[in-house]
Amino acid sequence: MFRDRTDAGRQLAEKLMHYAGRPGVVVLALPRGGVPVGYEVALALGAPLDVFLVRKLGVPGREELAMGAIATGGVRVLNEEVVRGLGIPPEVIAEAAEDALRELERRERVYRGNRPPPDVRGKVVILVDDGLATGSTMRAAVAALRRLGPARVVVAVPVGAPQTCSEIELEADETICALEPDPFYAVGQWYEDFSQTTDEEVRGLLAAADTRRESGQLL
């Protein structure tokens, strides 16, 4: 078990040391719980840290069913099978995407203020979260990130369901699940402290990462 997300990030970083000191490596964390983990990974690798937000586009009236997702940078990914199967018209998708984009932009402002989204084109991007259960958010993040032109997408989590980790391996260039317990139960089961990460903590960690960048501690 991990003591908390900080401990999990430090242990995960040990699995990623082949990226330490390499230029063109960026750590993107999925808020909120992925940010404390990602901070420790970025610190160990000497890489910049930022957030990558993903918001599901739910089918109207059946919001639990995803017809797509929208992510940092306004990138939109559609589940064509769901869209075709339910005959969802383009104007419904556009309206849902517009609503989701407004919420995404609000969260972006909360977390990064006026800083622009990270430029990942041609870079190695390490996508970090505190764990993988169903993996739906991470799959959407990988698909959206691909649209931004990174050289390589690495998914890294401290703990994940074995089947989900195997599925993500088919979509990312490299997948690292430090712990794959079977039976899995839930992500929080493998943390002694899995208390909710606050917006204030996220902002504080991003500010600390920015300070390191400005002081020349990052590549």
Helices then strands, counting H and E runs in the chain, come out as 7, 8
Q: What is the pLDDT of residue 217?
A: 59
Q: What are the pLDDT digits (tens) for 127-140?
A: 999 999 988 889 88
Q: What are the pLDDT digits (tens) for 144-155?
A: 899 999 999 999
102 C-beta neighbours (distance < 10 Å), count = 11
Q: What is the pLDDT of residue 89?
A: 92
Strand partners, 105: none
Amino acid at 85: G
Cα torsion 145, 147, 148, 149 to 10°: value is: 100
Q: Based on C-alpha coordinates, what's the Rg of the chain?
A: 17
124-128 and 152-159 as β-strands: parallel, antiparallel, unpaired?
parallel
Q: Are 108 and 72 in contact (CB under 8 A)?
A: yes
Q: What is the pLDDT of residue 124?
A: 98
CATH architecture for the domain at 5-52+118-214: 3-Layer(aba) Sandwich (3.40)
Q: State percent of the chain over pLDDT 70.
A: 98
Please name the residue that has the structure tokens 């958010």.
137
> pTM of this prediction?
0.89
Domain spans in the chain, listed from the N-terminal domain onward: 5-52+118-214, 55-112
The residue ranges of the chain whose pLDDT is under 70 are 216-219
Q: What is the pLDDT of residue 43?
A: 95
Which CATH number is 55-112's, of 2.60.40, 3.40.50, 1.10.150, 3.30.1310?
3.30.1310
